[in-house]
Amino acid sequence: MLNHLNVEKAMLKSAESDHFCGVEGPFGWQAKLEHKYDIKWEATLWNDDNGLTIQCIIAANDVKQAALQAANYMVRYHNIELYPKRPDEKIRNWYMSTCPTDECGQDINENVTFIEWVIDLARCGDPYIYGIDDSLVRQRVMAAASHCCGVPYNELDNLIR
In this predicted model, what pLDDT tens digit does every residue of 16-63 receive, in sequence order? Answer: 456 677 777 766 778 888 888 787 888 888 777 666 677 778 888 877
Overall number of domains in the chain: 2
- Of 75, 55, 88, 62, nearest to 5 by C-alpha is 75
**Residue 139: which domain range?**
91-158
> Which of 82, 110, 144 is a domain's end point?
82
* 95 and 150 part of one domain: yes
Whether the pTM exceeds 0.85: the reply is no
Answer with the residue of higher pLDDT: 107 or 68: 107
CB 95 within 8 A of CB 119: no
* 110 and 76 part of one domain: no
* 141 and 111 part of one domain: yes
Give the pLDDT band (50/70/90) at residue 76. Answer: low
Asked if residue 2 is part of any domain, the answer here is no
